[in-house]
Amino acid sequence: MDTAERIRSWFSDSRNQKTIIGWLEEVYLPEYDFVSKAKIDTGAKNSSMHALDMEYIEQEGKPEHSRIRFKTTDLNGIPRVIEADVLRQVRIKKTGQPGETRPEIELEIVLGGVRKRIRINLKDRAGMNYRMIIGRTALEGDFVVDVSKKFMQNPIGENKDF
């Protein structure tokens, strides 16, 4: 099999099909039953979510700072409360700025019909353009980003007609 045949075979194999998404998409959080707008950022390794009023919840028999409760907003600006286990504290580096430590949690998301658990760090993103960033680690293996498009998919996976 020559190179061209191998490439055609790879693309025709349904196991290699990826969901095409735009640089801005709606993401469904099924555990909390709401939709959020997210920037799909292939330049960012990690995913990040807007979080206000973060408070650690102490649980008997568990290490300190092992669970967190915070507020965020949905697609319509309605406040939502999320409570989740803290996986770890991550150090986020920014070019030309000192790094910062943020709590990292795991959330289930649905993006373009693909349901997966992703790691996401928490930060007050009130002064930023996008309240949620989906980075490369969360995209890997399932998505291809068309940077010329936005809102290509409904969160549950119905491709929008253009």
Domain-wise residue ranges, the chain: 29-145
pLDDT, averaged in runs of 10, over the chain (162 residues)? 68 71 96 96 95 93 90 94 96 82 96 95 93 96 94 74 44
Q: Say how many C-beta atoms besides its own lie within 10 A of residue 110's C-beta.
A: 19
Topology of domain 29-145 in CATH is Cathepsin D, subunit A; domain 1 (2.40.70)
Determine the pLDDT at residue 157: 61
Return the pLDDT at 83.
Answer: 96
CB 126 within 8 A of CB 49: no
Distance in angstroms (rounded) separating the CA atoms of residues 152 and 114: 14
Six token digits for residue 147: 């940077």
State how far the Cα of 101 lies from the Cα of 122, in Å rounded to an integer.
10
Question: What is the rounded distance in angstroms from the CA atom of residue 80 to the CA atom of residue 59?
Answer: 22
Instruction: Report pTM.
Output: 0.83
Question: What span, in angstroms and rounded, lies between the C-alpha atoms of 9 and 136?
Answer: 26
pLDDT at site 92: 86
Contact between 45 and 117 under an 8 Å Cβ cutoff? The reply is no
- Return the closest-CA partner of residue 156 out of 112, 109, 116, 115: 112
Distance CA 135, CA 64 (A): 28
